[in-house]
A and B are shown apart, each in its own frame.
Chain A
Amino acid sequence: MTTDRDEPVSRSRRAFLAGGGLMVSFALFGSLRVSAGQENTLGATILNPKLPGDLKIEPMLDAWIRIDASGVTVCSGKVELGTGVRTALWQVAADQLALPLERFRFVTADTALTPDEGYTAGSHTMADGGTAIFHAAAQVRAMLVDAAARKLAVPPERLVLENGVIKAPDGRQLTYEDAAAGLDLHRMATETSPPSDPSAYRYIGKSVPRVDILAKVTGGAAYVQDMRPDGMLHARVVRPPNHGATLVSADVDAVSRMPGVVRVVHDGDYLAVVARGEWQAVLAMRALQASARWRQTETFPDNATIHDVLKTLPRLDYVTTRQGVDGEVHQAAPVANAAPAAASTGARVERVEATKQYVLHGSIGPSCALAVWRDGILTVWTHSQGVFPLRAGIAGLLGLPKEQVRCVHVEGSGCYGHNGADDVAADAALLAHRMPGAPIRVQWMRDQEAGWEPLGPAMETSLEVATDADGALTAWRHALWSTPHNERITNPGRLLPAWLVSQSIAPSPPSPIPQPEGDADRNAVPLYRVPDVRVDMHFVTQMPFRTSAMRSLGAHINVVTIEAMMDRLAAAHGKDPVAYRLAQLDDPRAKAVIQRAAEAFGWTANPALPPNRGVGFAFARYKNLMGYCAIALEVEVDPDRRAVRVDRVVTAVDCGQIVNPDGLTNQIEGGIVQSSSWTLYEQVRIGAVGVESVDWQSYPILRFPQVPARIDVHMIDQPGMPFLGAAEIAQGPTAAALVSAVAQATGRRLLRLPLVPHLWP
């Protein structure tokens, strides 16, 4: 649509701005500073590292805000994944533009229209995307006021902004559209913005109702699944039974003759059917699947052996250190086999080991996408987390220039990380490209999503910590084994269909997200005061199962490990766990959430609890960079019914300036419930034929009767402070507090997740 107008400008200015910035990948390690030309952790290129938030990636103001005779349009490259960010970003723009919400359009993630902000992931949306809009809008507002001042011949400070109108003292006024006439917003953002007064915000800090909910509760079109363009055909894919299996034969001819079938695609190990009716497509898929014969080429470990197997596979070792209590975190370049860390020494040394199994993102709606190849443009509607990286991947897969592919985000079912969204978009693109003119809708089935989504990795951790006689931490040695947590689209081979077609493309070699964000080692560097820290990430590069990003990455098990250690050390030194944590922290905001949660919970050092009951406490600051979260909870176990009931959960969080308090509460509640489900119940069954969890029977998750009785969320607002990511902050602390409470209730400190199947095998 507007590709013609926007893209050449965008390309040339990016080329100009990126000029001179050398792409040196090993520069990521060693120094943690960002520089121009370097890619950030979300797959976008930094052009100006001095600018706030994602203005670093897209410094031009008109990429974010456009004003013409038709009105004001604000653009974001971030997407709504069900977390409410669309509304929150809109609120930020409204306050900083001094414009009512309903007075401007808000466009998200469309490769033809919006800035490239990489992936919507890692709790970066408010921190980076929100910050970019916050500053871009303030700078554009100031430009509008200056333009109006010139037009009205009034000093800018005498103008008043009210409901999208700029008013002079004498009653003359200009709309934003009038003021913007002749004003060129194609200007580089500046490092600082005109200040705004947090006490004057009309939207920021208010629980503005989400803009997407009305349609979702009344049956409105809300998801990519709800799109029905004229002439749409329904496609289904047939997947191999496991990774590496090759197709021996399939009865394409018989399936081609089935009612409604328009096309059967067979290309190497890739099979798909396209039909007029959706049910016809399902029946054809089943017939094709039943006729297909496959040859298994790989063997797979099982749940009992996976952690031992991880230690035998090819790997790269990444060593991260922090020397001195205020020392910088330093990550060394990877080596094939790092020399083992020296044992900790101190008055007392404790050791904790933990494991987790593979987990599923488990979106309720399996992945879906729609694509059409028409007039030389392949348009893909997708619930991808990153429309720009997806565009590059699809273009590479089909041998098209990027300019001929447009990816448009439309919501899908919540993803919680890298699920099948990108792969099904590639399916739709691949099929649409072979059938010009017809919109092709591909809907994965439940077993396909479960069997082929990248899994959350199985992991093992081992932590050894030394303390002095008073309990002060003196040395910290954390080792962990994991496959990658970030197999995003860095080449077309990262898209599943690319492996299956006859002209297959292999995925690019895995590479972890570096510290301080971290990958499997996310949150492995403790926030606690300790002068000598070493983290050994044994990054397994040959995956028995495909794995990638799932909400909080390694932080889930690392926080479990760290907090179990803090409990153990507190007990060893005869201290209350909460008091002990407070004594090992310097960050006042960390202490504040801990104190608030403990107080609201009514935490006492040695509670008199009935049998089978336990309390647990845990804390983490997500990535040591984002929101702070402390959680206290109480559980009751029922050995006869083999059940753990979460009674009450109290949490305190600090996510900087809060944009939408109700949205934040919703995210925290959701994180607590989801992490409870992971920690208590969830594991992908693996065995001889690969992934054996194919539905909700073979992959049970938490249900209504198991939901906590009560969750209280306490928020510490920080007006005027930066936005800090919130969506993943509860995952680690919830799990750690549960482990602790279950240990107290059962008398067994179990660090094998999920807890329930391990408690009562």
Chain B
Amino acid sequence: MIELTVNGATHRVDVDPATPLLYVLRNELALNGAKFGCGMGQCGACTVLVDDRPVFSCLYPVSSTAGRRVRTVEGFGTPEKPGPLQQAFIDRQAVQCGYCIAGMIVRAQALLERVAHPTEQQIREHMNPNLCRCGTHMRILDAIRAVAATGELHRAGEKGPAS
């Protein structure tokens, strides 16, 4: 049995400890946010936060989450009450097929929690690992900039982890 904490809740799962976190999130915990894209840490569709740091969950062994906090896009808000980045993506309709979008939101969250008002270059470089094939980049950047302008997530970060 492996114990892991995801979005503030503790779960015990009976899996091979080498199983990548992605498969545990999707199958054992039935969370849809993190997606299988490449299985090689090359596209970012599977991005989740482990102790506030973005990781490729397709490569990250579930056993390595011991004693760490895992956060997925489901932890940022709900359909009834979307979080700031989720709301900004909705407001700008920053989605085409949307398959990469949860990973985009998670990676952006990590930046905005750490840096109050990132520059355009900082945003682009931070988002570099995540790929979008539909070409939704303009809107993704716009949504991130909008939340960055408020500094909202940075303040939340300073208050300590909200999970």
Contact = CB atoms under 8 A, between A and B. Distances in A.
B98 A216 contact: yes
B93 interface: yes
B134 A210 contact: no
Interface in B69-106: 72-74, 77-79, 82, 86, 89-90, 93, 95-102, 105
Nearest to B95: A213
Nearest to A259: B16
A218 B133 contact: no
Contacts of B96: 82-84, 414, 666-667, 670
Contacts of B125: 704-705
B128 to A, nearest CB: 5
Interface string A660-693: 0011001101111110110000000000000000
B38 interface: yes
B20 interface: yes
Interface string A685-719: 00000000001110001111101100100000000
B43 interface: yes
A297 to B, nearest CB: 29
A221 interface: yes
A704 B127 contact: yes
Contacts of A362: 133
Given A279-B19, A697-B42, A704 B137 contact: yes
A217 B42 contact: no
A669 B131 CA distance: 16
A446 B74 CA distance: 25
Interface in A272-287: 277-280, 282
Contact of B35 (A221, A225, A416): A225
B138 A218 contact: no
Contacts of A666: 93, 96, 136, 139
Most B CB contacts (10 A, CB to CB) among A219, A221, A225, A669 go to A219
A757 interface: no
Given A216-B95, A277-B27, A366 B36 contact: yes
Contact of B93 (A210, A228, A443, A446): A210
A219 B128 contact: no
Interface of A is mostly: loop
Interface string A207-239: 101101111111111110110100000000000
A49 interface: no
A711 B86 CA distance: 23
Contacts of B15: 277, 279
Contacts of B86: 217-218
B135 interface: yes
Contacts of A696: 38, 40, 42-43, 131
Contacts of B43: 364, 446, 696
Which 8 pairs show the lowest CB-CB distances between chains A and B? A82-B97, A673-B135, A414-B97, A219-B33, A216-B98, A670-B135, A413-B99, A219-B74
29 contacts: A82-B99, A213-B90, A213-B93, A214-B82, A216-B98, A217-B82, A217-B86, A218-B79, A218-B86, A225-B36, A278-B23, A278-B26, A279-B19, A363-B133, A364-B35, A364-B45, A365-B36, A416-B133, A446-B40, A446-B42, A663-B93, A666-B139, A670-B134, A671-B135, A673-B135, A701-B133, A704-B141, A705-B128, A708-B138
Interface of A: 81-84, 207, 209-210, 212-223, 225-226, 228, 259, 277-280, 282, 362-366, 411-414, 416, 443, 445-446, 662-663, 666-667, 669-674, 676-677, 695-697, 701-705, 707-708, 711
